[in-house]
Amino acid sequence: MAPRRIEPKPEQALYAVREVFKDYTAEAVGTLKASSRTEISARVLAPIDRIHVRAGQTVKEGDVLIELDRRALETQLSQAKASVVAATAALSRSESDYARARQLLKKRVISQAEMDRATAAVEVNRAKRDHARQAQSEVNVMLSYTTIKAPKNGMIVDRLAEQGDMARPGEPLLILYDSTSLRLEVPVMENLAVGLKRGDELTVQIDARDKRPTMNNRVMR
């Protein structure tokens, strides 16, 4: 039996079938984030006296952000200064005793052992004076830490403490980010990520502004 052939009806149109190649476009949702994010924290344990900024405020490098209570450290500084004065006076006396002992030793009035004790006294008192000076310098450095300044230009995006709170070393008080260092972070599905390589240019659409920004839309990693 011969195969049956279907003939089109006269009123039906005929279309040619063609293979068409089109570019495939995939969309992924991302977030604009600052590449530079800084946590502002204290270096000394002290109550917060004043906070000069609030969330959303723009600051410049060197602006005073937070002032900590200085009273405890100022008391330590007074004590350190008194220790330096006392140690300096003790060193001066021992140096005078040493000079006198040298003259007496030449006249054979005192023994070498007494001379050695005078020499040791000078060395000990000099070490005490240097230690007192070092302690005073350290307190001065700690006092400088009670004024917390902005390390760079940026915007305060979060305020994590209030006046009267205890500032602890390493505990964030403010969050600062540089608004000029924004970057787009986009999670991409694995089957698409394998086709991307560093330096590829992609199109970015910011719906909030209804435009495509003129920026370096390159794959960074």
Encoding tokens for residue 127?
């070490």
d(CA 151, CA 220): 27
172-177 β-sheet, strand order: 37-41, 172-177, 154-159, 58-59
Please state the separation of Cα 134 from the chain's center in Å.
27
pLDDT band at 212 (very low <50, low <70, confident <90, very high): low
- E strands in 22-91: 31-34, 37-41, 46-51, 58-59, 64-68
Please compute the mean of the pLDDT values over residues 186-191 and round it to a whole number: 82
Any residues with CB less than 8 A from the CB of 153 and at least 6 apart, and which?
Answer: 58, 59, 60, 61, 178, 180
Q: Which of 66-75, 78-87, 99-108, 195-204 has the lowest mean pLDDT?
A: 195-204
pLDDT digit string, tens, across residues 9-51? 666 666 777 787 777 777 888 877 767 789 999 999 999 999 9
Q: Structure pTM? A: 0.66
- E strand or H helix at 182: strand 182-185
Question: What one-letter code names the amino acid at 109?
Answer: V
| Phi, psi angles (nearest 5°) of residue 111 | -90, 170
Q: Is the pLDDT of residue 65 over 70?
A: yes
What's the mean per-residue pLDDT of the chain?
Answer: 86
Q: Tell me the fold of 70-145.
A: Helix Hairpins (1.10.287)
- pLDDT computed for residue 74 by the predictor: 97
Helix, strand or coil, per DSSP, at residue 73: helix
Delimit the domains of the chain by residue range: 70-145
CA atoms within 13 A on the CB side of 20: 6
- pLDDT computed for residue 215 by the predictor: 45
Please compute the mean of the pLDDT values over residues 84-94 and round it to a whole number: 97
Helix, strand or coil, per DSSP, at residue 136: helix
Of 23, 57, 54, 85, nearest to 154 by C-alpha is: 57
Render 84-129 in DSSP notation, one character per residue: HHHHHHHHHHHHHHHHHHHHHHHTT-S-HHHHHHHHHHHHHHHHHH
Q: Is the pLDDT of residue 100 over 90?
A: yes
For residue 38, with 0-12 CB atoms within 10 Å meaning exposed, 13-18 middle and 19 or more buried, which class applies?
middle
d(CA 49, CA 164): 6
